[in-house]
Amino acid sequence: MSGDQVAVVLDATALAAYVNGQVAVGELIAEVADEGRQVAVPATCLAAAHAATTGDVGTALLTLLATTPAVTLVPLGADPSVDDARQTGVLARAAGGDIALGHAARTALAHQAHLATADPTAAAVVLPTGWSILDLSQM
Amino acid sequence: MTAKRSISVPDDVAQWLDDQPNVSAAITAAVRAQMAGTHLDEALRRAGIEVTEAGKARWRERLAAPIPPEALAEGQRMLDEAA
């Protein structure tokens, strides 16, 4: 891992798993928090999760999670000195233009962090061979 | 902004505080840790998630496994190329 505190990045499918009450993703977040480290949520993944959820409960849950101190919301294009928007777009090409997945991959690469997802096949396409993908699909 | 508070604590806590170089900072850090845990517990509970120690232990092992150096190098190359 790099020297920063981000241990895990949650993509949009991992956020959907949280909304659906999947225990494994909750235990992952709790473990990272217990270790005094951070879970990163790319803003585009949060937006995609909001778009995919229906009803006020899912929206409220996502808002609650995103404001948890153990969670760091990662913006896109907010810092002119960082080429994150371009990197996200280039990485997203391999995922058929899925900007949220490109942003999740960019965040994982930049922080040298694990990527948690319920769609490991898609994640593997945008990450280097051998990168750590925490598979939530079998839980 | 800061605010002053007068509090009463048990003897053992008072002793520990007496050993801290900055009592205000020590109390702030302890309270913030408590606040963070409470907030996360609430976020998980409202989603219907009951965390178990066994479940966290499984992730602890996975999180401790380092990303291979070749993958880290390839990741940096990908970021550099895309910049």
Q: Per-residue pLDDT tens for B64-78?
A: 999 999 999 999 999
User: Best residue in A18, A23, A57 to probe B by mutation, most B CBs within 10 Å?
Assistant: A23
Sign of CA dihedral A77, A132, B50, A52: positive
- Taking the Cβ of residue B64 and every Cβ of chain A, the question of whether any pair is shorter than 8 Å is answered with no
Q: Which residue has the higher pLDDT, A105 or B2?
A: A105
Strand, coil or helix: A78 = coil
Q: Decide if A105 contacts A91 (C-beta within 8 A).
A: yes
Q: Which residue has the higher pLDDT, B37 or A8?
A: A8
* Secondary structure (H, E, C), A6-50: EEEEECHHHHHHHHCCCHHHHHHHHHHHHCCCEEEEEHHHHHHHH
Q: What is the domain partition of chain B in residue ranges?
A: 11-82
pLDDT at A3: 52
A18-22, A106-110, B16-20, B65-69, range with the lowest pLDDT: B16-20
pLDDT at residue B40 above 70? yes
**What is the ipTM score, two decimals?**
0.89
Mean pLDDT of B7-34: 88
Kindly report the number of other CB atoms within 10 A of residue A100's CB atom.
25
Average pLDDT along chain B: 91
Q: Which chain B residues are closer than 8 Å to A64 by Cβ? A: 42-43, 46
pLDDT at residue A10 above 50? yes
What class, spelled out in words, does domain A6-135 have in CATH?
A: alpha beta
pLDDT in tens, A38-96: 999 999 999 999 999 988 999 999 999 999 999 999 999 998 888 999 999 999 999 99
> From A19, which residue of chain B is nearest by alpha-carbon distance?
B47
